Structure 1
Amino acid sequence: MPSPHSSAIRSTGRSPPSSSSRARGSLTTACVETADWGYGAPATLGFLVAGLVLGALAVAHVRRHPDPVVDPALFRTRAFTAVAPWPLSLLVVSMVSGRIVRALGERTTAITGGLCFAAGPMWWLLLAGGDSAHYAVEFMPGLVLAGVGAGLYQPVMFAAAGLLPARQLSLGSGVLMMSRQGGSALGVAALVVITGGAARPGLDALRAGWVFPAVTAAFAAVAGAALCTRVRTGDGETRTAPGESRESGTDPIRHH
């Protein structure tokens, strides 16, 4: 006899957690916990392998389903898949950002991240243009640079919330998240204004749009240069970010 849970699933049209959601959960767990477990630890490798296998199963399911949630034809549209280098480079750098921070320090990593992000649109300003533009040379490197920049900058800045007094940790984290979401919305709105709101802006409008993220990312690099990894608490005691020694940097993956 079918269980009430299965009957409810059929009646509402909903399904249990899919392979894709489990794949994302496994890969996220591997990335977040690798600093504690170790890069070669069985738990890290186990979650990583599970995520890859579940991801492959999700792709196979989408390809054979008559009416998939995500139509594979979407990825055959070149204009859509052309943005893939940005999230992929962001993912790769985020996975190793802990080691990078320990090697370079928080401030240097934040500055490097901001400059890399600024270098992305600058690449397009200098090289992109014309009807004979070659994607792999003129556009893709800029996407990779922007992804690398975000992968370096964001974990460090979010980890900096750990320097707040204990009573302000939740508030500080909330303000950072709100600023990130609000900044994304304002950035999109600003780009719409700069490019004239055209559905297919011309090259001149795109160039004006590329200047905007380049300048704002440069300001982010300046903010990173002002990052202080030690603060003085109300009782006069000097402390460091969680997990930071006086000789090494904070591991943003561990504490973010």
Structure 2
Amino acid sequence: MRNASDPTSPPATSAAPAPPAEASRRAVFVVTALGSFMAALDLSIVNVAFPDLEASYPAASQAQLSWVITAYTIVFGALLVTGGRMGDRLGRRRTFMGGLAVFLAGSLLCGVAPGVGFLVASRALQGAGAALMVPASLALLIGAYPPERRTQTVALWGGVGALAVATGPSLGAAIVSLGGWRWAFLVNLPVGVLVAVLGRRVLTESRPQEASGRPDLGGVALITVAVGSLVLSISQGPEWGWTDPRTVGAAVVAVIAAVWFVQRSRRHPDPVVDPALFHDRSFVVANLATFVYATGFFAMLLGNILFLTGVWGWSIMWAGLAVTPGPIVVAVVAGPAGRLAGRVGFRPLLLTGAACFAAGLLWYVAFVGTTPDYVRDWLPGTLVTGLGIGLTFPVLSAAAVSTLPPERYAVGSAVNQTARQVGGAIGVAVLVVVLGEPTSVAGQLEAFDHLWLYVAAMALLSGVVGAFIPRPAPALVRSSSDRRSSP
């Protein structure tokens, strides 16, 4: 094995390096999972810091402060595919470590930001670093494991990401209450330094694709504009108004850039996203299922916090703690779900998980009322939804890259993450429309019932879509005699 700490040593160009020894694999998992955890955590951890931000910047409007959240989401979503392509072309380790450095620089600047404009720009820098880091982390992880163990490992990696997003409110509330909003960003620094130190020791460079010809810089610009404009239009639509020229204009720009990008990719000798990827049925179906699932999943995450704080009147800290059992179940279930998918294929897991997720949401509709009763009314639904998420969300991450060649791991992961981001933006926009502004507690409860029914419908629809993933399971997920339980 090459010295992973030597960035000048030549990368592999014809094939991914041989999977390392078991101890090294575990170290690679820790490094890549922590990087993904930080990036996913910052999607939701800042939400609970909003009141503290308002107190720090009383002259700023809510619309201005909302960009502290939106800037990260838009840039992260817009640059994911570009980050994945960079990993496949320039090297996964190099891209991961570079993205980590950018992310940490953005975190530091956020923590010392003297004003709102500086803070928003620093959040955008964070998003750019995360977009480089996340696709490369999954590609590095896949390359470290033999084919028969990748489904379990990727599912566990996906479970870590889901855990980060879901626990963001509770962790954010604890951090902000102890040290203020700036520590929601500064907390990334010690974790990131640990990831950087370990990464230099255990990550081995891989670049299975020989970089031939000039990169498609025009395609990079088009896909960035297309996804960024789409996420902007969706995320700002509820605030600007769906017929506002800014909302409509961003949507039109997204459509034009997307069409232009598709046409360019068909002609370019080395496109950002190879159109041949979309001839792979597993890849297409898994990403479509991910998109549908995310439109419900992210609406539920925010919706449940809003219910507990708005209808039951709990503090953000108690609300965050109240939803934490669900993510814990996700973390426990993700690894075994990956192993089981390796034996029986993706479809049974996705159908079962979708049914469990929907059942938990229907429990909320049937039993949760305006009078708080956490143990009898809320906790059972949270545990069942956690089981459903653990059987589906991480498995979808594995299914999306299950049949891809090594040279497309990073960009394939990036497309899946982009589907998740766009779906999540739509889900939050739907939440705003469904909840509306009821004037009574009974009206609030009815609105949340409608939201939970919507999320249940999206969960079931994602299961139906996932049922079209081909069988038998591809080589990536075939079982073998090696079925050790942890990566």
Q: Could you tell me the TM-score, scaled by structure 1's length? A: 0.60
> 1:147 aligns to what?
386
> 1:95 aligns to what?
335
> 1:119 aligns to what?
359
Asked if 1:77 corresponds to 2:311, the answer is no
Task: Give the Cα–Cα distance (whole angstroms) in 1 for the partners of residues 368 and 343 of structure 2.
Answer: 34
> 2:450 aligns to what?
208
Shift of 1:88: 0.9
Closer, same or farther in 2 for the Cα pair 1:121/1:241, shift >3 Å?
Answer: same
Deviations, residues 154-178 of structure 1 (Å, cap 9, x unaligned): 2322222221355654443222110
Shift of 1:79: 2.2
- One-letter code aligned to 1:203: L
Q: How does 1:139-218 map to 2 (within 5 A)?
A: 139-160=378-399, 161-164=401-404, 168-197=408-437, 202-218=444-460
Residues 341, 477 of structure 2: 8 Å contact kept: no
- One-letter code aligned to 2:465: A
> 1:242 aligns to what?
476
Residues 229, 241 of structure 1: 8 Å contact kept: no
Residues 94, 151 of structure 1: 8 Å contact kept: yes
Alignment partner of 2:476: what SS? coil
- One-letter code aligned to 2:385: A
Closer, same or farther in 2 for the Cα pair 1:28/1:122, shift >3 Å?
Answer: same
Residues 352, 388 of structure 2: 8 Å contact kept: yes
> Which shifted more, 79-88 or 208-217?
79-88
Closer, same or farther in 2 for the Cα pair 1:241/1:188, shift >3 Å?
Answer: farther
Q: How does 1:58-69 map to 2 (within 5 A)?
A: 67=179, 69=183
Q: Could you tell me the TM-score, scaled by structure 2's length? A: 0.34
Taking only aligned residues, the RMSD between alpha carbons, in angstroms, comes to 4.1
Gaps of 5+ in 1: 1-23, 37-58, 231-238
Alignment partner of 1:139: what SS? helix
Shift of 1:211: 0.8
Shift of 1:221: 1.1
Asked if 1:86 corresponds to 2:320, the answer is no
Task: Give the Cα–Cα distance (whole angstroms) in 1 for the partners of residues 346 and 380 of structure 2.
Answer: 25
Residues 357, 389 of structure 2: 8 Å contact kept: yes
Q: How does 1:7-26 map to 2 (within 5 A)?
A: 25=30
Gaps of 5+ in 2: 1-28, 35-140, 150-170, 185-314
Alignment partner of 1:122: what SS? helix
Identity %: 31
Task: Give the Cα–Cα distance (whole angstroms) in 2 for the partners of residues 197 and 189 of structure 1.
Answer: 14
Residues 351, 466 of structure 2: 8 Å contact kept: yes
Asked if 1:137 corresponds to 2:371, the answer is no
Residues 109, 153 of structure 1: 8 Å contact kept: yes
Shift of 1:96: 2.3
Alignment partner of 2:451: what SS? helix
Shift of 1:218: 0.5
Residues 368, 377 of structure 2: 8 Å contact kept: yes
Closer, same or farther in 2 for the Cα pair 1:135/1:103, shift >3 Å?
Answer: farther
Task: Give the Cα–Cα distance (whole angstroms) in 2 for the partners of residues 84 and 27 of structure 1.
Answer: 23
* Structure showing the higher helix proportion among its residues: 2
Shift of 1:91: 0.9
Closer, same or farther in 2 for the Cα pair 1:136/1:104, shift >3 Å?
Answer: farther
Shift of 1:152: 1.1
- One-letter code aligned to 1:217: A
Aligned length: 191
Residues 358, 455 of structure 2: 8 Å contact kept: yes
Deviations, residues 73-119 of structure 1 (Å, cap 9, x unaligned): xx993223111112111111113223332454321011111111111
Residues 337, 391 of structure 2: 8 Å contact kept: yes
Closer, same or farther in 2 for the Cα pair 1:103/1:77, shift >3 Å?
Answer: same
